[in-house]
Structure 1
Amino acid sequence: MAARLNIHTIAMWLLPALFLAVYLAPLLGVFGRSVSRPEPGAQNYVRMLTDADALNIMLRTARVCILVTLTSVLMAYLLAYHWVFGSPARKLFMEFCIFIPFWISVLIRAFGWVVILRNKGILNETLLSIGAIAEPLTLVRTEFSVVLGMVHFLVPFAVFPIASIMRQIDSRVLLASRGMGASPAFTFWNVFLPLTVSGILASVIIVFVFALGFFITPAILGGGKIVMIAEYIYIQMFQTSNWGFGAALSIGVLAVVAAMAGLLFRVIHPERLVK
């Protein structure tokens, strides 16, 4: 009994210590740099809200994240529906579509899209050969290529919350709707879709938070022209050595992520997603 109490006491002290060591201490260090470099004060946060370049990059990041989130969640909803309610063969195919991307490195996927989309890539060469275009399309180093690469990576993450909620729906509710004379379209829009709203919202938040911190895919497919906030923070810290401003931007991104996580836990009740 005494040994159990000692282990319990050690665990109670050890877990907060680990939290302080691996999370809180680095976070406080970043915040300290944001208000101390190059001079003590809040000038880095003022610059973050007034600097034209920073505002343009934040607006671009928000625009790309919204496009990626909407596209990813829509595709994920269709995949999840066929995964949950499809035939055994269709379910197997959906599983391949969902799980195979997890086995491929994000670098390989990004460079794969470069090979497909570049001026002499697979897509342009195919379109030229069939006469669909007269000259190669500029697809790499554009927002389109960045959105495409991010959606490819994030769709599987959006599938799981939606599929989890779909599996919890009682099929008798849908049968009752059909039995009372409702059409399939009416049943979907007025019964099925409202029951999956919590999964959709969870996917929206998860994908948006992931997209907000994306670095490798926008850096490769954007080619330095489509700079997003994560790459901009990297530039500030490691190329221009502007640690204070980079730290302030990092704290700003963290505040947005914390707000989205708070919304997830307050409104959506994520414990339902793991049942």
Structure 2
Amino acid sequence: MKAVRMRARLILFSPLLLFLAAAYIVPFLGVMSLSVTTPTPGLGQYEVALTDPLVLSVMWRTLRICVIVTVLSTLFAYIVTYLWVRGGPTTRVVIELCIMIPFWISVLTRAFGWLALLSNRGLINTWLEQLAILSDPLTMVRNEFGVIVGMVHFLVPLAVFPLATAMRNVDERVLMAARGMGASRIRIFWQLFVPMTWNGIAGAALLVFVFGIGFYITPALLGGGRSVMVAELVYLRIFQVPDWGLAAAISVLLMATVGFLLAFMMRLGKGVNP
């Protein structure tokens, strides 16, 4: 009987498995093949990727920006989700609109919107100069600050959903018991509520980091070519400085890094699960 059920499940899942293999595994194998065959067979492109100062600087910049974006996005998303899950009816409606509306706007439109706000002649600098607060405009784009702002704005709504699931699964009886024993709201929040939502925090951070490490449009527009991240470097190596082998090697290393971090964070989340 079990064999029949397993066979039925395999038949049902086979179209999905075939689609995933065609959409992800086959292209990735092709990228791996390019990384060890172009321009000459061997691991020379990986050596270049791990020793070239330009590539290393881009990788470190990408890691630094992604860590900052992950922390900020998870923090802001936690506040937004807390108000959404535990706020009043009016607050919930407003928060739901704030969460859903960004999904109706493309990432390209949002990036151009931040350009209009943050550029030297943008709305923010213009207002500050008109109010005589600034004499010279602030440089808020074509640097890491603009990239971080744009990425956080895009990723906060994505981080809300795993946090909302965790918060809705919190056992209210535990919170009520702590309140009945005289614990303050702050103590209940930090010592009970936050630890009970750790899985949601880890899931949100993981989701934000994985999305952020492969970002292209937002860093390219708001960074202005001065804060190049890994995805933009791969694009440049393919289309502007033809070096497909190095681009493939960087892509494989990026995939390996993401896979390692996924495994590590999943293990960490299980280990600290209250």
TM-score (normalised: structure 1)? 0.91
Aligned to 1:128: 129
2-structure distance, mates of 1:203, 1:109 = 21
In structure 2, the CA distance between the partners of 1:7 and 1:205, relative to structure 1 (3 Å rule), is closer
In structure 2, the CA distance between the partners of 1:14 and 1:73, relative to structure 1 (3 Å rule), is closer
2-structure distance, mates of 1:15, 1:69 = 31
1-structure distance, mates of 2:182, 2:18 = 61
Aligned to 1:32: 33
In structure 2, the CA distance between the partners of 1:184 and 1:14, relative to structure 1 (3 Å rule), is closer
In structure 2, the CA distance between the partners of 1:15 and 1:89, relative to structure 1 (3 Å rule), is closer
2-structure distance, mates of 1:213, 1:145 = 17
TM-score (normalised: structure 2)? 0.92
Kindly provide the amino acid, as one letter, of the partner of residue 51 in structure 1.
Answer: D
Aligned to 2:176: 175
Aligned to 2:4: none
Kindly provide the amino acid, as one letter, of the partner of residue 42 in structure 2.
Answer: G
2-structure distance, mates of 1:112, 1:44 = 38
SS at match of 1:126: helix
Matches within 5 A, 1:31-110: 31-110=32-111
Kindly provide the amino acid, as one letter, of the partner of residue 95 in structure 1.
Answer: E
RMSD, aligned CA? 2.1
2-structure distance, mates of 1:183, 1:14 = 53
Aligned to 2:149: 148
Kindly provide the amino acid, as one letter, of the partner of residue 219 in structure 1.
Answer: A
2-structure distance, mates of 1:155, 1:57 = 24
1-structure distance, mates of 2:233, 2:173 = 51
Structure 1 consecutive aligned stretches of length 4 or more whose deviation exceeds 6 Å: 6-10
SS at match of 2:37: coil
1:222 aligns with 2:223: yes
Per-residue deviation, residues 41-97 of structure 1 (Å, max 9, x unmatched) = 111111111110001000100110011000000000000000000000000111111
Aligned to 1:198: 199
Kindly provide the amino acid, as one letter, of the partner of residue 145 in structure 1.
Answer: G
Aligned to 1:3: none
Q: Is the 8 A contact 2:198 2:269 kept in 1?
A: no
1-structure distance, mates of 2:125, 2:215 = 27
Name structure 1 gaps, 5 residues minimum: 1-5
1-structure distance, mates of 2:11, 2:152 = 44
2-structure distance, mates of 1:9, 1:204 = 32
SS at match of 2:236: helix
1-structure distance, mates of 2:197, 2:41 = 49
Shift of 1:263: 3.9
Kindly provide the amino acid, as one letter, of the partner of residue 174 in structure 1.
Answer: L
Identity of aligned residues (%): 47
Aligned to 1:139: 140
In structure 2, the CA distance between the partners of 1:256 and 1:119, relative to structure 1 (3 Å rule), is same
1-structure distance, mates of 2:135, 2:20 = 59
Per-residue deviation, residues 180-203 of structure 1 (Å, max 9, x unmatched) = 111111111111111011110111
Shift of 1:30: 0.3
2-structure distance, mates of 1:246, 1:109 = 28
Shift of 1:18: 3.6
In structure 2, the CA distance between the partners of 1:240 and 1:168, relative to structure 1 (3 Å rule), is same
In structure 2, the CA distance between the partners of 1:182 and 1:8, relative to structure 1 (3 Å rule), is closer
Shift of 1:259: 2.2
2-structure distance, mates of 1:57, 1:9 = 43
Kindly provide the amino acid, as one letter, of the partner of residue 143 in structure 1.
Answer: E
Shift of 1:15: 5.0
Kindly provide the amino acid, as one letter, of the partner of residue 149 in structure 1.
Answer: G
In structure 2, the CA distance between the partners of 1:51 and 1:197, relative to structure 1 (3 Å rule), is same
2-structure distance, mates of 1:189, 1:131 = 42
1-structure distance, mates of 2:248, 2:15 = 29
Q: How many residues align?
A: 267
In structure 2, the CA distance between the partners of 1:25 and 1:94, relative to structure 1 (3 Å rule), is same
2-structure distance, mates of 1:140, 1:85 = 36
2-structure distance, mates of 1:23, 1:244 = 19
In structure 2, the CA distance between the partners of 1:69 and 1:16, relative to structure 1 (3 Å rule), is closer
Matches within 5 A, 1:156-175: 156-175=157-176
